Chain A
Amino acid sequence: MNYACHLLVYLSIYTIVAQSLNLVVGYCGLISLCHAGYFAIGSYAYAIASKAGYGFVTASALGVSVGLILSLAVSLPAWMFKGDFFLLISLAVQIAIADVISNWVYPTAEPGTLRNLTNGPYGIAAIPRPHWLGHRADTMVSMAILALATAGLCMLITFLLVRSPWGRLLKCIRDDELASRGLGKPVRYTKLQAFAVSCGMAALAGSLYASYVGYIDPSSASLDNSLLMLSMVLVGGTGNFQGPVVGAATLLAFPEILRLLHIPAAAAANLRLMAYGLLLILLVHLRPQGIAGERQA
């Protein structure tokens, strides 16, 4: 039961992540490598705020706002850059975020203070379990319910967004930016909005993660993590609603299956990477549009 709840929490977190990254990758047509950065920004903001005594709603709202504001770091360059250049810029943003997180440390200061905001490589431990309105998510079941509810909310919001004229406008901008501008559409502003929503949701997923695991360190902001998130979107299929969910589920199921096969942990880590690689290669050959993708790009 606990195991099932654990899986559910992870699935919820990564569904939010993949769903939000899909807004950028699928709907804006920009491959971004800095999503883990925003995920980590959300978790750190949550960790610091919740250790200061704030409840789940306030702390995660803080995480979302920080993610939302910092999304400008990628969305402003997206005004001008596309394709490879944007990829490089998102990589630079990713590295910058990871660097700031692992270096904002001062030995004698308390973690969470201005001099030692992130506690650097030591990370922030003992993050309290989420609590709201006098209620605490102490059990696995209540944690799973919270995670599912948050994921459901995010799915609802993305669903409404991508099926709305706003989602259509995003796809049109992706298809032909100049033609959209010729129709009087606020192309840059719309991209800004898409990135803000996307990064804000990544930060929310990060908050959820921090509250569940209770400990975060700079590894959550690593490039590996960004690549995993990107693979989820690409494996599932970009530019539609169900793809990212399928992708997140597939990539999360992989290590679990390896575990069920009783492969020793040391070998399993390497096997997992090999399996991911194999999966991606097979996919590119057999279904370039992703498992649940609709049409060939």
Chain B
Amino acid sequence: MQLEQEILRSDIDRTTGARNRLAVRLRSLRKTFGGQEVLKDVNADIARGEVVLLRGQNGAGKTTLLNILTGNLAPDAGTVEFSTNGAALAFSFPPPIWSRITPWGRFSPETLSRHGIGRTWQDTRLFKTQSLSDNIAVASPRLIGEIPHVAVANPLRVRREEKQLQTVVARVLDKLGLGEVASSPADSVSLAKTKLVAIARALQAGAEVLCLDEPLAGLDSTDVGSVLGVLRQLAETSVFTLVIVEHDFNIPRILDLVTTVWTLDKGRLKIEKPADIKAWFHAPCVEELPRWARLVIGDVDVITVPLGSGAVLHRVRSKRRANITDAPVLEVEDLVVHRGYRSVACNGRDEALRGMSFELQRGDLGIIEAPNGWGKTALLETIAGVTTAKEGSLKLLGLPLNGQSPWNRRRSGITLLQARDSSFSSLTVRDSLHLAGVAYVQDDLRALASRSVSSLSGGEKQRLAFTCACDGQSYDLALLDEPFTGLDDKSISGICKRLSAHLGNAAALVAVPSLA
């Protein structure tokens, strides 16, 4: 009730006063990729201070539209107009000849960024060798230190400027709760932190309209909270205009911030108020886990074992198999997992209890639910042999695995689906499937066969990765690292169905971020 009132109030706020000036206007946008019409006729307006939620199935063209909004991709036809930074900027497509040959005012990310349009990426794209504070500092516009002759001729002035900048950046990082990791390089901090920095970076560059591509994807519940907090602050100032791409799964979490909902379906944009789609999302989907489990196995018994440091292992077994005791497929005993020189995924600080032990039978679905940074990936990679275990023992079907190479483990029946993009981006889909030894290809992927993997949308890549991992050679144990990240409901249930077909004579261990 209170929520609805708030939405109403913010609606009123935004329809009155001078704030409600148009920031972006899109008219008759069209975009085709090799015959596939991704955007057909997209028309939309965004007023200043609005918070737009852009939703749609996997591959509906959300990222494509965001790319157009930020100058990263030129549409085939239509017009894009911005009135931000106190000036107007308009582009029509196909571009007139004169604008094609002059270097000024091109439709490019640089031009739009200087005009106050910023973005974050689905895969954050921080500058990975730079510290977090430098990642933000470098975004500042018009630094005199970036002019080489000033840097040489007037180092003191540059130093002063840099000092001031660093204090500003330090304040920003403190506000985000990242003060302690300010100087660690961007590729060594957790996903949530990089997402926060990516937002701060775009703001530092002077973004007024901020486009966020799946800011919550792949985060666990505490991390979602911190990113959400920042989004909420941005929305409340109503200085910023936000366009947020999110999946249905995360939508309930942000729906109360949103003022407009755009739904992309078959190339067209449907514009609604949040109240219209609210009925769709009554309950937040924190009960995702049992739902997956039921999708995979049907009627289930769940045994939950704590693994320490906030992680749990749910062992899900079909009721029909409840009384069968089989030889275990996977036995893990006193395993200590290392990432670099640090041991992770351990049973708390107690030395005696450090190793973890569990086993899985045929038909079992093990679900490791752990906060990000706990070491889920490290654990799965240790079982698959990509990283070596220093302590503890691992057995597959009674045979010890320790010391075996990853390819031998694959031959003896362990398959691993790695988290996030681990596909071969220069191959075509067909070659990737060949390489994985997939004989039968489902229709949805067959249509993509001749495309290169790098051109697939996030969800399509994930489906391909799953098929390569699980529909190739037969296996006894499937290790799936966040297989559902970035997928819509339809794809999730499709994957679950296929997984359940395999579970007849295999076990699966799935790692997911903890959501409760």
Contacts and interface: CB of A to CB of B under 8 A. Distances in A.
B151 A166 contact: yes
A52 to B, nearest CB: 29
A161 B125 CA distance: 25
Contact of B146 (A169, A176, A178): A169
Given A165-B158, A165-B162, A168-B137, A182 B119 contact: yes
A139 interface: no
B70 interface: yes
A54 B121 CA distance: 56
A134 B134 CA distance: 48
A24 to B, nearest CB: 14
Contacts of B127: 171-172, 175-176, 179-180
A183 B151 contact: no
B126 to A, nearest CB: 8
A283 interface: no
A174 to B, nearest CB: 8
A16 to B, nearest CB: 15
Interface string B139-162: 101010111100110010010011
Nearest to A157: B152
B498 interface: no
A180 B202 CA distance: 10
Interface string A138-156: 0000000000000000000
A183 B147 contact: no
Nearest to B116: A184
A201 B146 CA distance: 19
Contact of B113 (A165, A172, A184, A295): A184
B139 A160 contact: no
Contact of A166 (B70, B126, B130, B148): B148
B234 to A, nearest CB: 18
Contact of B130 (A172, A185, A193, A197): A172
B267 interface: no
A175 B201 CA distance: 15
Nearest to A181: B109
B108 interface: yes
Interface string A185-227: 1110010010001000000000000000000000000000000
B49 interface: no
A160 B135 CA distance: 20
Contacts, number: 95
B205 interface: yes
Contacts of A180: 127, 138
A164 interface: yes
B184 to A, nearest CB: 12
Given A165-B138, A172-B138, A182 B148 contact: no
Contact of A181 (B108, B143, B148): B108
Interface in A67-84: none
Main secondary structure of the interface of A (DSSP, over half): helix
Contacts of B121: 179
Contact of B141 (A176, A181, A184, A197): A184
Interface residues of A, number: 27
Given A176-B125, A295-B129, A165 B118 contact: no
Given A178-B72, A182-B72, A183-B205, A169 B138 contact: yes
A197 B151 CA distance: 13
A183 B202 contact: yes
B53 to A, nearest CB: 22
Contacts of B141: 184
Nearest to B113: A184
B70 A182 contact: yes
Nearest to B114: A184
B206 interface: yes
A286 to B, nearest CB: 19
A164 B156 CA distance: 11
A14 B139 CA distance: 35
A184 B113 CA distance: 5
A235 B109 CA distance: 37
B232 interface: no
A168 B127 CA distance: 10
A171 B205 CA distance: 17
Nearest to B144: A165
Contacts of A164: 145-146, 148, 151, 155, 158, 162
Given A168-B134, A176-B125, A183-B202, A197 B110 contact: no
B146 A165 contact: yes
B146 A182 contact: no
Nearest to A158: B152
B128 interface: yes
Contact of A175 (B129, B139, B147): B129
A48 to B, nearest CB: 27
Given A161-B152, A182-B118, A166 B147 contact: yes
A168 B130 contact: yes
Contact of A179 (B125, B129, B146, B185): B125
B200 to A, nearest CB: 12
A185 B70 CA distance: 14
B110 A185 contact: yes
Contacts of A168: 130, 134, 137-138
B144 to A, nearest CB: 8
28 contacts: A160-B151, A160-B152, A160-B155, A164-B148, A164-B151, A164-B155, A165-B162, A166-B145, A166-B146, A166-B151, A172-B127, A172-B130, A175-B129, A176-B125, A176-B126, A178-B109, A180-B127, A181-B108, A181-B110, A181-B113, A182-B109, A182-B113, A182-B118, A182-B202, A183-B202, A184-B205, A190-B146, A239-B129
